[in-house]
Structure 1
């Protein structure tokens, strides 16, 4: 990890093309916890597929990147409101990395199921920062969704001029 750089979604000049493989729309880079002090690998390259979900399906409360404890809060207030941490409500979390098997993750944590919504929030297993995604236990198809703008990307040996 010493010679690699991690970038956030907003650091890319064209994230919709730079973050995906050209042939199959999968993640082009390893995905890490967004917390700069955490080195936790969440998902390896080519295991997540970029998908879009309707805004009404966007159920993530604000992320808690500054606190390293108790970041998967279950309060009704956070469950029902849109993110207020600078993410645009018109574009808020409509793009996700989709997985269909939770065992595909390298290291991930889940909250308890929220009874009202059937959601389990996804967080970093090492530092508990999150939520970075969710799993809807009431959905017909099993899927685990990681918000593209709530994680960091290891671009390996690429130089930063190619990113921004």
Structure 2
């Protein structure tokens, strides 16, 4: 969700970073890494910033939730990766519907995003990774 912050600045991901600090010419301006183990996921300039809504399983499971639908998060800010071989480090889940979830290949934390089996594009949630 984007919110106005000031003169032309808009927050992205989890709201603590402005788009201007992360995006240059539509691509990631900085390296992207796992927020848990610091493993590099993508190098700078390798993916496009896109806004599309997708529901991902929550990073932290809430065992008190009575409905499994309560353990999800709607995410809108993503890095779009055209080719899976662009990743420095990423793991893929088993197929779920028409997608696979993405996780850190080193620590298995995630999902950090999803991969479309139809378009062959991958989407990494800005709020679920660290930007350097």
TM-score range, shorter chain: 0.7 to 0.9
* 2:19 alignment partner, SS class: helix
How far 1:82 moved relative to its partner?
Answer: 3.3
Ranges in structure 1 where 5+ consecutive residues have no aligned partner: 1-7, 66-76, 84-91, 155-164
Write out aligned runs for 1:2-151 (5 A): 9-12=14-17, 15-21=18-24, 24-35=25-36, 38-53=37-52, 55=53, 58-64=54-60, 77=68, 82-83=72-73, 92-114=74-96, 117-137=97-117, 139=118, 141-151=119-129
Contact 1:32 1:42 in 2 (8 A): yes
- Which structure dedicates a bigger proportion of its chain to helix? 1
In structure 2, what is the equivalent of residue 88 of structure 1? none
Distance 2:123 2:58 in 1: 15
* 1:59 alignment partner, SS class: strand
Moved over 3 A (4+): 8-11
Q: Which has the higher contact order (CA 8 A, sep 6+)?
A: 1
Number of aligned positions between the proteins: 115
Contact 1:9 1:151 in 2 (8 A): no
- Which structure dedicates a bigger proportion of its chain to strand? 2
Deviations 1:11-38 (A, max 9, x none): 32xx2221101xx210011000011xx1
TM-score between both structures, scaled by the size of structure 1: 0.64
Ranges in structure 2 where 5+ consecutive residues have no aligned partner: 1-12, 62-67
